Structure 1
């Protein structure tokens, strides 16, 4: 797989107004309306016209960013006013604005869903909104829905609406005529199964699983080019942060962190890898599916992914399972998140009820469920690794499996919504494991302590 390198662009000097860059937040009334396809196709349209495009994804997400990165040709970072925080978002937007000809931000769920929502992001940063509405089964109600999206809650920046799944030219006319005067018409897209993106239980397929992805995006980009939305959106200014960020400590200097990355382990925020580089770490990659041994390293990170889809292959790789057990016995620091944790239990039971032997670092069984088991933001304070009063690590959870283990959690994550106990965090020896996907920039020193050899 290609190596990941940290961003090298330089934001404007602190306190400067920043460049005004055409910018658009692409949202919808709900999931499944086509906003990822439209955002990716817009990125592809302008990138192939020679523009430098930077794309962001609102909310926790690992899959959509791979599609958006393939379309734009650049890494895609997340913007979440709670998980990543406003300061992180402002700094990344300013960095993008220093080089970009177009900035696109894909929303999450429905425009007003969640706290904070995509609408909150649009308000906070002054982003014009494109609402993608699946309009195949409606006529004048299209206008009512658009009116509600534009006027619910506090005022939003200007909104345009794109009708998706439109049947005929007459149908498009009915939709356009239904819009209130203060909402712009962005055009109508016809139904096109050949341009749609396939999905499964955790969301859309990743970019590297779709060999015809660019063909699909080009097909949609051709359709968008002929519509009003094919033109550049209004410009937005993104001021640089008020004060430059001083270089931080490098507690992982001269340490190598090995990261699992393959078809079973793929949920990795680019910002997390950038954080490891900033902490001084050398990063190497390995595949628990294909490799028989671990690379030479001082710490391991097994991120989330789809171990349940590759249980047979993981179970058959006895050499890798033994290598993981030796690393743990030797006290190598290990962080395992969600799918990475699942692969370290004794047994994994997939959706078909088939049991697969896993690495056995955690006692018990993890079993796939037919329904979503947990979703939401999570805050984590790691005992023994974080001083009292330290800022919790922030992250999120999203999984379809449940664990059955005699191991008692060392702590539980906390839901920021109501303060209720969240996901279990297990520590055994040098291993820290949880369903929580951590966003490393929220507390880099805690990550360094976790990967630096301090056991629970």
Structure 2
């Protein structure tokens, strides 16, 4: 075995909304400025944080999830990164100990130290109590250091730093400053492609980090060699049309990798720009924000007609979450205005004020078992009966229908292709 050593940190927090992405982005951009190669990963299913972290680090960001992708998938990605990086950063999900496969579980399993991010905006000495609790809660967890987010002044930062016990290292703070805040909307951060001033915000984060940055790296972590079996070349010579724009932007880089490794040629197109459907053997309509672009989607009659011909002739089409919403007869926005959609699957949906589906999901399809997740604010009424229902492995209430019309497959579930590459690629075969 040819193990590799590389400094690494898992950036976590007591809860969501503490500033994990801001600190991870600041670290990535600052170390990149020092001439280091930084590779960033995101714990769990997430499409939006990675787009920001890719801009901060200058490299693609992949998800790490012991259940969705499996431990071998996680270890193989980290081993590959350790061969080229000077620093590996992993942004955690939710709070440090939240979930049945938590960020703490991942850190301990992989032997990676934790950088704890705590929102200090409404506390002083209690900061030390929270940090101590994170560090002591689970025996064997290694906390490398603590940083504060949204501090009000240098004096405020001094109070927070002074509250830490001697065995916890203060790594500094980011100020409460709208110029470096990362904008959000109902599904999370605004995607990087929609933030015209993102480079300015990333530079502001790195500048703020530079005020207290220590130009040293944590001790190297050890990454064991894992080589995954090659993806079967089931799609050799086949052309897959993939919708990609602000309405269809929830695409795992790992999914595109699997398509390419299977021999597929990928043709991206933009429904929002009025693009026609490229010549193709199969179509993928990924998730995203169709609800924010309903008028433009409703106007693209040329694409709608082409998709009908595609499905009617028995060609494969995969529609995930936002892609499925676009595939329905109509979608109603939060103001109650309904817009005609593609009409590929009989039914309609409406946007809700609250989450309608959330959680990890698995499903048994004729092509094989696949894993992924659901996260949406829409409620759909679909006329055909589902081919299958997803299962939440954590026992949560979300169960999504998977619908099949000839070789069209549609669901609210976002599939993680590496969970079963053969089954995923079979969805694009006649």
TM-score between both structures, scaled by the size of structure 1: 0.92
Mapped pair 1:430 → 2:413: no
Do the aligned partners of 1:368 and 1:402 also contact (CA within 8 Å) in 2? yes
Is 1:250 matched up with 2:236? Answer: no
Q: Could you tell me which residue of structure 1 aligns to residue 283 of structure 2?
A: 300
Aligned position for 2:293: 310
8 Å contact from structure 2 (residues 234, 262) kept in 1: yes
Instruction: Please state whether the residue corresponding to 2:67 is helix, strand or coil.
Output: helix
Asked if 1:48 is matched to 2:25, the reply is no
1:331 equivalent in alignment to 2:308: no
Change (3 A) 1:147 1:424: same
Compute the displacement of 1:330 (Å). Answer: 1.2
Deviation at 1:140, TM superposition (A): 1.4
Partner of 1:210: 195
- Residue aligning to 2:418: 441
Where does structure 2 lack aligned partners over 5 or more consecutive residues? none
SS of the residue aligned with 1:38?
Answer: helix
The alpha carbon displacement at 1:168 in A equals 2.7
- 1:168 and 2:145 correspond: no
Q: Distance in 1 between matches of 2:338 and 2:269?
A: 25
Residue 148 of structure 1: how far off its partner (Å): 1.4
Contact 2:231–2:422 (CA under 8 A) maintained in structure 1: no
**Corresponding pairs, count:** 430
Aligned match of 2:273:
290
Residues of 2 paired with 1:404 and 1:161: CA distance? 47
DSSP-derived class of the 1:233 partner: coil
Which residue matches 1:25?
A: 10
How far apart are residue 153 of structure 1 and its match?
A: 3.0
Within 2, Cα distance between the matches of 1:381 and 1:246?
Answer: 22
Q: After the TM superposition, which parts of structure 1 deviate over 6 Å for at least 4 consecutive aligned residues?
A: none
In structure 1, runs of 5+ residues without a counterpart are: 1-14, 387-391
Q: 1:350 maps to which residue?
A: 333
Q: Provide the residue aligned with 1:395 in structure 2.
A: 372
Shift of residue 356 of structure 1? 0.5
Spell out, residue by residue over 1:372-397, the C-alpha distance to the aligned partner (whole angstroms, 9 max, x if none): 111100001113x23xxxxx211000
Q: Distance in 2 between matches of 1:229 and 1:61?
A: 30
Match status 1:34 vs 2:34? no
Residue aligning to 2:361: 378
- CA positional deviation for 1:112: 1.1
Asked if 2 retains the 8 angstrom alpha-carbon contact of 1:24 and 1:104, the reply is yes
1:72 aligned residue: 57
Task: Summarize the Cα distance change of 1:177–1:51 in structure 2 as closer, same or farther, 3 Å threshold.
Answer: same
TM-score (norm 2): 0.97
2:298 partner SS: helix
Shift of 1:230: 5.5
Secondary structure at 2:395 match in 1: coil
- Alpha-carbon separation, structure 2, partners of 1:230 and 1:115: 35
Q: Output the CA distance in 1 between the equivalents of 2:59 and 2:356.
A: 33
Helix, strand or coil at the partner of 1:304: coil
